[in-house]
Amino acid sequence: MGKGLIIAVLGMSLTIMVLVRGINNNATEGLRSTIELHDQMNARLIANSAIEVYLEKMRRDKSLKGTFINVSIMSGNADVFIYGVDTLLQIKAIGRFGNKSHISLASTRRSQVSIPEIQSSIQISADALNIDMNGSIEINGNDHNIDGTPGPGAAIPGITVNTPADSAYVVNELKNKISKAILGAGGTPSVSTAPGSGTDWLSITENYIFAADYTLPSGNYSSGSYGTSADPKITYVNGDVSFSGSAEGYGIMVVNGDLSLSGNFTFRGLIIAYGESTITTRVVGNSGVYGAAIFVGNSVNLQATGNSGFYYSSQAIQTSQNNIKSSRFEVVNWWE
């Protein structure tokens, strides 16, 4: 009986050892599976995060494309590949964490910059107006090319304001010589009503500011090029600004403050000066705008002298519309 008991105990011990070993093996395998799942999930998060990081970089650098290797993200790394055209940009990211990797791919499309309907060479949207024009200034709603030659588009008014009362005020304030220099649709002086009080100018300007290529502080700028005909840009000035001398620009300019143009400064495209109170725009010398200008504020004070001019140009507006890159993207597809 003693031998039988010993054999039974040994058998039970052997069974327990087998069970313990099996439990340990299962625990080890479970831990390994948990670690691998953790690493795989992190690799996926890293790949997705890399795409989001580079979408933000592409917002700030509109020409960003190429291959970016071993980018450190979330205790791992990723390779990022950006290729394609603005209408279908592909962003591929290979995320790595531990010994696991994951591939994510996003197809995106850069949004188009939207320009509001151009209703006149100069559009004024304000509750209170003050107009003071002298000299040989010309405000012309007849279409021009960016080189000053006649354009193919239909004529629009030289100046538009919000109400018939504003229109009558502008006509009455213009001296006879200046009155004859306000050209465009509807006869001379070409002053018309185009209600703009319902337009969400704040939203329009905020979209431009978000996509700005150049952001300038308040100050005086007598030189520099803010865009070209082949590569127009969005310029944003936060505060009062003066452009003079040989400075020039192409595209869209947004000024949150007073604007002064003098010397030989020339801009081709759309200028918007806006503010929550009084906006004063001074134009002197030989400066000129080919495109359109919009002045928005509770009160707008427009002063113009010298040989300056505002010339409507559908070519300048269309060039800006077609070639300026937005900073916003639409994600068409996302694979992960």
**53-104 pLDDT tens trace:** 999 898 888 889 999 999 998 889 999 999 998 888 999 999 999 888 999 9
Q: What angle do CA 168, 139, 201 make, to 5 degrees?
A: 75
Q: Is 333 contained in some domain?
A: no
Same domain, 167 and 34: no
Q: Is the peptide bond before 189 cis (omega within 30 degrees of 0)?
A: yes
Same domain, 262 and 145: yes
Interstrand relation of 76-85 and 214-221 (parallel, antiparallel or unpaired)? unpaired
**142-184 pLDDT tens trace:** 999 998 899 999 999 999 998 888 888 888 877 776 778 889 9
Q: Is 10 contained in some domain?
A: yes
Same domain, 286 and 160: yes
18-32, 36-50, 300-314: the lowest-pLDDT one: 18-32
Who wins on pLDDT, 155 or 6? 155
Same domain, 203 and 69: no
Q: What angle do CA 131, 151, 321 make, to 5 degrees?
A: 80
At residue 196, what are phi and psi to the nearest 5 degrees? -120, 5
Who wins on pLDDT, 42 or 134? 42
Q: Is 330 contained in some domain?
A: no
Banded pLDDT at 235 (limits 50, 70, 90) = very high
Predicted confidence at residue 128, as pLDDT, reads: 81
**262-283 pLDDT tens trace:** 888 889 999 998 876 667 777 7
Q: Which of 94, 112, 130 is the last residue of a domain?
A: 112
Confirm if 212 and 198 have CB atoms less than 8 A apart.
no
Number of domains in the chain: 2
Confirm if 336 and 91 have CB atoms less than 8 A apart.
no
Place of tokens 């725009």: 281
Write out the residue range of the structural domain in which residue 281 sits.
122-323
Predicted confidence at residue 327, as pLDDT, reads: 84
Predicted confidence at residue 84, as pLDDT, reads: 92
Amino acid code (one letter) for 134: N
Q: Is 139 contained in some domain?
A: yes
Q: Which of 45, 77, 112 is the last residue of a domain?
A: 112
Predicted confidence at residue 21, as pLDDT, reads: 59
Same domain, 64 and 192: no
Confirm if 250 and 267 have CB atoms less than 8 A apart.
yes
Same domain, 178 and 241: yes
Q: Is 223 contained in some domain?
A: yes
Tell me the C-alpha distance between 290 and 314, whole Å.
9
Predicted confidence at residue 77, as pLDDT, reads: 92
Predicted confidence at residue 31, as pLDDT, reads: 54
Of 80, 4, 85, residue with least CA distance to 46: 80
**244-260 pLDDT tens trace:** 888 889 999 999 888 88
DSSP 66-130: EEEEEEEETTEEEEEEEEEETTEEEEEEEEEETTEEEEEEEEEEEEEPP-PPP-SSEEEEEEEEE
Predicted confidence at residue 121, as pLDDT, reads: 93
Predicted confidence at residue 4, as pLDDT, reads: 59
Same domain, 87 and 165: no
Number of Cβ within 10 Å of residue 314's Cβ equals 18
Predicted confidence at residue 24, as pLDDT, reads: 54
Same domain, 133 and 106: no
Same domain, 217 and 318: yes
Mean per-residue pLDDT of the chain:
84
Q: Is 328 contained in some domain?
A: no
Q: Is 332 contained in some domain?
A: no
Tell me the C-alpha distance between 277 and 260, whole Å.
17
Same domain, 271 and 168: yes
Banded pLDDT at 14 (limits 50, 70, 90) = low
Q: Which of 87, 112, 137 is the last residue of a domain?
A: 112
β-bridge partners, 260: 242, 282
CB pairs under 8 A, 24+ apart, for 239-243? Answer: 241/216, 243/267, 243/287
Q: Is 334 contained in some domain?
A: no
Tell me the C-alpha distance between 203 and 196, whole Å.
14
Same domain, 71 and 182: no
Predicted confidence at residue 216, as pLDDT, reads: 92
Same domain, 54 and 193: no
Q: What is the CA 29 to chain-centroid distance, rounded?
A: 52
Which tokens in the block code for residue 174?
């213009």
Predicted confidence at residue 299, as pLDDT, reads: 79
